[in-house]
Amino acid sequence: MKFSATWLKDHLDTEASVEEISAKLNAIGLEVAGIENPADKLAGFKVAKVLTAAPHPNADKLQVLTVDAGTSEPLQVVCGAPNARAGMVGVLGLAGAIVPGGGFELKKSAIRGVESNGMMCSVRELELGDEHDGILELPEDAPVGMTFAEYHGADPVFDVAITPNRPDCMGVHGIARDLAAAGLGTLRPIAAQAVPGGFPCPMPIRTDDAEGCPAFYGRVIRGVKNGPSPKWLQDRLKSAGQRPISALVDITNYVMLTYGRPAHAYDLAKLSGAIFARRAKEDETCLALNGKEYTLTSRMTVIADDNGVHDIAGIMGGEHSGCADDTTDVLLEVAYFDPVRIGQTGRALNLTSDARQRFERGVDPAFLDAGLALLTDLIVGICGGEPSEPVFAGQPPITPKLVRYDPAMAERLGGVAIPEAQQRATLSALGFAILRDAADAAPQDSREWRVTVPSWRPDVDGAPDLVEEVVRIHGLDNIASAPLPRADGVARPTATPAQKLERKLRRAAAARGINEAVTWSFLPEAEADLFAEGNGGLWVLQNPISEDMKAMRPSLLPGLLAAVQRNLDRGASGLRLFELGRRYLRGQAGASDERLTLGLVLAGEKTPRGWASGKASSFDAFDAKAEAMALLAEAGAPVDNLQVMGEAGPQFHPGQSATLRLGPKTVLARFGMLHPALLKAFDIDVAVAAVELFLDAIPARKAADFARPHYAPPALQAVKRDFAFLVDAALPAGDLVRAIKGCDKANVVAVRLFDDFRGQGVPEGQKSLAVEVTLQPGEKSYDEAELKAISERVTGAAAKLGAVLRG
């Protein structure tokens, strides 16, 4: 909402400066987005009198002037304007000034050998109009030496952001009312004089859609003369950023911008039969004033005559029935449209307008008569003509709202004590009426006021709204900070186990040399599809911002792979990235099932080529396993009991990937090398190892106490024994290790596999696995018999897996 200071002062009698007004607007909730001061553009221009004018010695069309601009010495200026002459008063731009109409800076210079100290300016150069035939001539009594900005009365323009709850401030008068209530001046009352009609309205007016258009007031004015609107009106519209069109159009815009009351003026000659509000027919079209044709639905309200639609009600007029320069008879429409209907229609048509903004927020339903009177008065005053009697079709929905309000609530909710008298004054100034207060309340203990809400405030319907009114006008800066009560002692821990797990894993992964990334929650649908298998369907957006951000991720890996690809494109050779976030799955009954997940990718070079190691090394599946195991250990998962199983998913290399499970069903993680076909889909040409950790599957730690299980290091030294077995080549080494670990839990404390060999000396189809078994004696050292017995248990357990001890 833009308006000039002059316009505001039409409605507010105030001595306040632009800065004071701006500060107050901000303070009461009318946010000043900007102030445009034309005076800023006119800096360096002065009212100046031409003392002498002589022909330029070296140029036919130039003159050399001496100019008095209030400086101690007259200035010499070279000028090419034909109207420059001694004795005239004009505007001189001094060296250093920037010409508004040209954007260049004036400099002291020599023009054809004659010094020039500035420029006498034309209307166009000062951006005051289009004239450029000569320099601007001011009246002879214009005060020489005064800055032109001051002389011209440059009018600052406020640009105020109005929140959607304040339709009353979508007009200058409403803003003036708020400022007056805040003590910045006196509100000038609206002078809406009813203009009696001289004849019955010749055009039948009615509303056939009482829901969408409860009230349609109108009248005809015949014999008007359209043309340019007067300067005062044009100045105001220009300050609002609007282009003057013609008096009739400008007047309706002026009333809308001044009072927040949109209206429409039809050229009566272009209407036939009756004019009425009705629902649009399905697929009916309307060519709107913006030149676009809109296809309507039966949920939209229109204004039509017997021939068809002339107006998308409350949003935009039609191209064919608007006023033109040759319009002689007008029909005025001042209606009330249902805000919900206007909003729906506007959204459906994707059509915004000043009128829609106001009707959608809710115009004052009690301002139809005044609006019609103001319009009539202005049109008759400016364009002449003779008004008909007004027609009032329907009834605007005026329902007086009464709010019970306890003035003590200002302090209870607003935190600031405001005297009752001040509250009453504020509310009255804003148009609220206090019907009864404590003084004459029947029950003595009731402090409640009964406050009626003005018709222009659809946003106010409860006591907290009134608190907001009195507090904002009183000033939020006057609210003192009040500490929140706090519990005694040191603050209690608040993090949940899931939150602690997330924080710990994040820092554990980073501590292992991996960079945390945050990638989009949405993916290209094709990329999401590659990971959707087994995830129960994707969440796909109806209105994505682009095709690349369409499907919610079913896995953390695709987003990381896209990041890998971008990094590789930028020349990175080795990448370690992880992300901790949600996967989005389908839950019960249409709900979302969002699971906290850690995705991790190791791409390309693990170590770069080096002086010690020679060639660069690449990541392999065991690097992924190492990260998975380390992070699961940090998460408190029982890593010693996990089973390494298959079925990591088709995204992985079928022979170099696995799942880590707690029991056969609970998958805590999957890891391994990614499938080359998948990498190709992501345009990645290096091998990538990946891990996905399913945080929701990790069992919570149960310990309630801080104390750990008792432990004292054994006094006796542990004994190590090596065993080498021949086993079937297909036997997972982990099975052998697990079998040996479990064969004698009293003595075997660790089993480390240190050799996996196939080839010479090992029969075809077999492999040799060597393990180092650590035995921990208890009370006394082992004797030979005991060691022999343990060894037999080890070989016996291995034998169950078909393992044969090598000689």
Partner 1 sequence: MDYAATREQALARIAQAQDLGALESLRVEFLGKQGSISGLLKTLGGMSAEDRLVVGPQIQALREAVSDALTARKAALEGAALEAQLASETLDLTLPAPEAPRGTVHPVSQVMDELAEIFADLGFAVATGPEIEDDWHNFTALNIPESHPARAMHDTFYFPDQMAADGTRMLLRTHTSPVQIRAMLQQGAPIRIIAPGRVYRSDSDATHTPMFHQVEGLVIDKGIHLGHLKWTLETFLKAFFEREDIVLRLRPSYFPFTEPSVEVDVGFALVNGKRVLGGSGDAPGHGWMELLGSGMVGRKVIEAGGLDPDEWQGFAFGVGVDRLAMLKYGMDDLRAFFDGDVRWLQHYGFSPLDVPTLSAGVGVRP
Residue 549 binds to partner 1 (criterion: CB under 8 A): yes
Stretch that binds partner 1, among 80-88, 195-203, 516-524, 657-665 (CB under 8 A): 516-524
**Is beta strand 719-728 parallel, antiparallel or unpaired with respect to 766-775?**
antiparallel
Q: Report, in Å, the least distance between residue 450 CB and partner 1.
A: 18
DSSP 138: B
Instruction: Tell me the two tokens of residue 569.
Output: 């494109």
The binder of partner 1 chosen from 24, 49, 361, 583 (CB under 8 A): 361
The binder of partner 1 chosen from 324, 398, 435, 495 (CB under 8 A): 495
Q: Report, in Å, the least distance between residue 209 CB and partner 1.
A: 17
Give the count of residues interacting with partner 1 (CB under 8 A): 99
The pattern of x and - marking residues 308 through 347 that bind partner 1 according to CB under 8 A reads -------------------------------xx--xx--x
CA–chain centroid gap for 607, Å, is 43
The binder of partner 1 chosen from 70, 544, 650, 732 (CB under 8 A): 544
Strand partners, 34: 159
Q: Report, in Å, the least distance between residue 347 CB and partner 1.
A: 7
**Is beta strand 515-516 parallel, antiparallel or unpaired with respect to 574-586?**
parallel
Stretch that binds partner 1, among 52-60, 394-402, 517-525, 780-788 (CB under 8 A): 517-525
Stretch that binds partner 1, among 65-73, 573-581, 692-700, 778-786 (CB under 8 A): 573-581
DSSP 510: H
Residue 595 binds to partner 1 (criterion: CB under 8 A): no
Residue whose entry in the numeric block shows the structure tokens 């370690």: 576
Q: Report, in Å, the least distance between residue 32 CB and partner 1.
A: 10
Q: Quick one: 119 or 538, whose CB is closer to partner 1?
A: 538
Smallest Cα–Cα separation from 648: which of 665, 621, 672?
Answer: 672
Q: Which amino acid is at 694?
A: F
- What is the C-alpha separation between 243 and 518, in angstroms, rounded? 47
On whether the CB atoms of residues 336 and 154 are closer than 8 A, the answer is no
| Three-class secondary structure of residue 508 per DSSP | helix
Q: Quick one: 66 or 521, whose CB is closer to partner 1?
A: 521
Q: Quick one: 634 or 786, whose CB is closer to partner 1?
A: 634
Residue 414 binds to partner 1 (criterion: CB under 8 A): yes
Q: If you compute the radius of gyration of the chain from its CA atoms, what whole number of angstroms results?
A: 42
Q: Quick one: 171 or 581, whose CB is closer to partner 1?
A: 581
Residue 594 binds to partner 1 (criterion: CB under 8 A): yes
- What is the C-alpha separation between 714 and 780, in angstroms, rounded? 11
Q: Report, in Å, the least distance between residue 285 CB and partner 1.
A: 25
Smallest Cα–Cα separation from 42: which of 114, 148, 146, 115?
Answer: 148
Residue 509 binds to partner 1 (criterion: CB under 8 A): yes
Q: Quick one: 36 or 594, whose CB is closer to partner 1?
A: 594
- Pick left, alpha or beta for residue 574 (phi over 0 → left; psi -120 to 50 → alpha; otherwise beta): beta
Instruction: Tell me the two tokens of residue 655.
Output: 């022979």
Q: Quick one: 69 or 176, whose CB is closer to partner 1?
A: 176
Stretch that binds partner 1, among 28-36, 53-61, 706-714, 731-739 (CB under 8 A): 28-36
Residue 688 binds to partner 1 (criterion: CB under 8 A): no
The binder of partner 1 chosen from 404, 507, 615, 701 (CB under 8 A): 507
Q: Quick one: 274 or 476, whose CB is closer to partner 1?
A: 476
The binder of partner 1 chosen from 503, 615, 720, 758 (CB under 8 A): 503
Residue 510 binds to partner 1 (criterion: CB under 8 A): yes
Q: Which of residues 153-192 bind partner 1 (CB under 8 A)?
A: 163-166
The pattern of x and - marking residues 611 through 640 that bind partner 1 according to CB under 8 A reads xx----------------------------
Instruction: Tell me the two tokens of residue 221.
Output: 């004015």
Tell me which long-range contacts 759-767 makes (C-beta under 8 A, separation of at least 24): 762/726, 763/726, 765/728, 765/729, 766/726, 766/727, 766/728, 766/729, 767/726, 767/727, 767/728, 767/729, 767/731
Q: What phi and psi, each to the nearest 5 degrees, are found at residue 338?
A: -65, 120
The binder of partner 1 chosen from 189, 196, 590, 709 (CB under 8 A): 590
What is the DSSP annotation of 555-570? SSHHHHHHHHHHHHHT
- What is the C-alpha separation between 618 and 606, in angstroms, rounded? 5
Q: Report, in Å, the least distance between residue 555 CB and partner 1.
A: 15
On whether the CB atoms of residues 232 and 250 are closer than 8 A, the answer is no
Residue 486 binds to partner 1 (criterion: CB under 8 A): yes
Q: Quick one: 13 or 31, whose CB is closer to partner 1?
A: 31
Smallest Cα–Cα separation from 65: which of 73, 135, 57, 75?
Answer: 75
Q: Report, in Å, the least distance between residue 483 CB and partner 1.
A: 5
Q: Quick one: 414 or 454, whose CB is closer to partner 1?
A: 414
Q: Quick one: 591 or 712, whose CB is closer to partner 1?
A: 591
The pattern of x and - marking residues 450 through 479 that bind partner 1 according to CB under 8 A reads ---------x--x-xx-xx--xx---xx-x
- Pick left, alpha or beta for residue 676 (phi over 0 → left; psi -120 to 50 → alpha; otherwise beta): alpha
**H-run or E-run covering 796:** helix 784-799
